[in-house]
Structure 1
Amino acid sequence: MNILVVDDDMYSRQLMGFVLEEGGHKCEFAESGEQALEIWREQGADVVLMDVLMPGMNGYEAARIIKAEAGQDHIPIVFLTALDDDRALVECLSIGDDFLGKPVNFVTLQAKIRAHSRTLALNRQVVEQNRELAYFHTKVQAEHEMTQHIMTAALKLSAKDVYGIRYHCTARSTFNGDLVLLKEKRDGGAYVLVGDFTGHGLAASVGSIPVAQAFSTMCERNLSVSEISLELNKILRRFLPPTMFFAACLLEINSTRSKIELWAGGLPDAFIVSGDNKIRRVIHSAHMPLGIMEMEEFESWTETISVTAEDRLYIYTDGITECPNIANEMFGEERLRQVLESGENNLFDALIAAVHEFNDDPDLQDDLSLVELKCAPPPETKYETPPDEELKGEETSPKSNLPEFQLELHWGPDQLRDSDPLMILRQWLGSHSVVRNSKEVVFMVLAELFNNALEHGVLGLLSSLKDDDEGFDRYYQERGARLEKLEDGYVRLQVRLSNTRPARMMVRVSDSGPGFSIKVEDLDCNDESFGRGLPLIKALCSEFELDGENATVKALIELD
């Protein structure tokens, strides 16, 4: 150690220097306070042995200056004094770190040096650790800022202002483990995702980035809630560690705000509140959270709920119900129900205020999220369009933001032999946001009309072949044989979808067959000579026309 010995007595300096250097220390000597400061400023010291009484600047003054200039660095100062009154000793300890009486006991001196050497080593270790902590804090802060920037950019993919939807999302720390994503559909409907990752802070929030990006992309593609939940589970299974999962509620509300398709896994019960402020429906989470189940075990089925314009849907994370007060009581579902049925004009604000009043603590114990979805449809906008013969009444119907479209498909012999000729049409229509809510009806109508055109028109098969017990087998064997030999013939299908609310789909199917004599009114007589499914198709469609002379069937489907 480097020891600065300060004493106006030369004999004392030399004697202490001899003893200390024998102990392996290096010594510098000063005979006054002024000289001690010069040496300190030039060379520094690990320990200072300071005489109290010296001519000029005394030891107290020199020690104060050294301590001030050392700043946060610990420099032990041991006073050497012949004074033995309590006041002087107290001052030695208040300014310096220790004292040693004169004449100096060299055994005690060496013991004190060893003790201060250990203290100095520990202090320097703490200082170095503090410097490392400061460095890492700065580094972590920079990484947090970068991560925050990336997450903010990812979350910008979510819409901030969707008609009829309000949300509140508060983080316990800098990063939020809760996630609220919105996406407005071009037809006026909307997608909503409310979720809660395991834990809090950065570790819990990193999953928000892939979820937000995937959610936005799939909404743009107008995928169904079932398809979105399946894809999100696949992403999170691959992305999250085994100890993490994502409790979520994912929904789509249609353009008229009359139906909600919903998938819920792991979140608390959601509530639908009626116009008279009564909870009319409780929606339970029927699935496991996302990111837990293997793909072959994952359940993507959804629940479809009919709602009225006065209904409001409330979805929240467990930060609401598990919010504690000063007595460590939780807010709980019962208090939440009381607020929802309180008759307040603004239930969203009333619920947030009730939670904060109950908690009475600015430092939240959990991330807290609430979404309110009002089911009243947005104001209608009308556009002037020319009347259309095939989609009657369309000129007076309100329009959506989606474009009208029409397509035509033509199947020749080679295409008709395909095992599933309608697959490409189902895939295309199934991804359309307007068709998806009524896809079961649409696909049933398309399949029945196509199969009738192929089997009875192009192939000339009779339904009477299926009358006996073995008829079905014989019918389809004959169907396969005729189809295999088919050299000429076609089925043509035309689809037109309006951009009205509600949307209408016109379907026209024609074939190369000789035509038919059956009329629409014949379908009401349970006559099965033209197939068993046509009466059902007629019942499903708002308009149904048969043109036997031109081998054409036309149907109009009203979509939800």
Structure 2
Amino acid sequence: MNTAFDKMSVLAVDDNRTNLHILQVFLKKLGHDVILAENGEQAVQRFEQLQPDLVLLDIMMPVMDGFEAARRIKAACRDKWVPIIFLSALNRDENLVEGLEAGADDYLTKPINFVVLEAKLRSMQRSLTMQQSAAVALERLRAISDNVLDAIVTADTNGQILTVNQATERIFGRPSREMIGQPVTQLLPEIFTGSDAEGRNGSSCKLATFKGRDREGIAVRRDGQQFPVEIGVSEVCIDQERLFVGVIRDISERKRSEIQLQQNATLLQAYFDHSQNEQQLAIRLMEKLLHRPGLRDPRLRYKVTATENFSGDIVAASRSPEGRFYALLADATGHGLPAAISVLPVLALFYRMTRLNRTIRELIIEMNQQLRESMPVGRFVAATVVCLDEISLSGEIWIGGTPEAYLINAQGHPTDRFASENLALGILDSDQIEIKPRCFDWTTDSQLLMYSDGLLEAANAEGVQFGSAGVLAAIADTLPVNRFAALEDALAAHLGEIPAADDVSLMIIDCP
């Protein structure tokens, strides 16, 4: 299998040699390696021998039809995903359904529209690249999991243990070979005997009922010793396979502490007060980190509205010693403190590098790589980064994952739109992405408008979102000095008494 999907190895299967030749020429023109087969049986053999990245499969063929071939190919894939696209003259709904049930990932009817086929191939190419990146990230995650103190156990939907980390062996006093393949009830029999559990007498348990909440119970070590644990379960899907990940913490020490706390109500209240003070301290520290002097620039107006105590949206602004004006609007995945922590590395790098008069490209490379190296899988940061040169009346903008930005003229109408053409920060390594900021010029009384998706997705009581139409309608035919307030008022009127479901950030920059 390829290590990078700039080209793919494609297995093309059709009993019509003319069709097969056309496919071969088309695929080679796109730069892919091509493997040919003239019936389903031959296709399965070629797949097992050569392990292609993608399969284009006809349905009506001698020896073995495409449906059966697809089933056998999917069975042979095992631990990796190989997309199958059916190419067939059969275009009834039942043919499509049967193809998808046989394991196909897409369906294209004959005669083939090669423009559509090329688009589908590119889509599959992107998915394969992302799958490969996820596999690398998984290896990194495994290395991390072996260095945490809590037990991490993965299980299938039948409750059979698939993997354990080193902490699991230590906590339960069992080598991994004695746990893998066994029911999770072997480790946690008491936890899975409640009214919402299945498999009380044997091999399976209803792990899905444990998602999203921590549960305490009794676990059993190899020597039969029982001890209290806390378990949290989350569900993941890898290559279309549902898996459950359980984090098991030995809380023996905590239980002893709780008993002592229960004996003294005063100590318990003191503990609560201390926790509240820590949260307030965290809020004050975050506010100090976020509200830097650069945000008081007279040409800048901004607002960040959090759905919780902490916001995953941030804004930042800075001027370099050479006079360049930089601005950042970032939106981390999730809400609350975890999302707020996710954006701190981006914020620190932004202020450090803008003081050094770095280019947007250099900023993006450093911020992206910092997130890749420090954040767990599934955490990433969408961002808009701007640099303005007020002497030449020109600027650069880079958008990754955040909504499109607008250059607004004096009458409140967009003269330029900057689309989000890049992935969010932290998804791919910096050497895997192409970083090309968009250059632009402006005229007198122009303004740059940018915002997070929380603004667009803000829905009223009827479920109608504010959307880009609401944004443009709010600022149309308004004076530049009134534009920010007009947007705030329009959003408030749209929401009424309904709070926004996501953090909302908004920034308007005067272009002098």
TM-score (norm 1): 0.42
Q: Point out the structure with max Rg over C-alpha.
A: 1
Q: Which has the higher contact order (CA 8 A, sep 6+)?
A: 1
